[in-house]
Chains A and B, each alone.
Chain A
Amino acid sequence: MGADLAALMLAAQAGDQDSYRVLLEELQPVLRSYVKRRIRDEEAANDICQDVLLTMHRVRHTFEPGRSFEPWFYAIARSRFIDHLRRRRRRGDLEVGDDAVAEIVAEEPSAGWGQFLELLERLPESQREAFSMLKIEGLSVEEAAERAGVSISALKVRAHRAYGVLRRGLLGSEE
Chain B
Amino acid sequence: MGVRASGAGERRTVKGTIEIDQERCKGCLFCVEHCPKKVISLSNKLNMKGYFVAEFSGGDGCTGCATCALVCPEVAIEVYKA
**A, B co-complexed:** no
List the interface of chain B (C-beta within 8 A of A).
none
Interface positions of A (Cβ within 8 A of B)? none
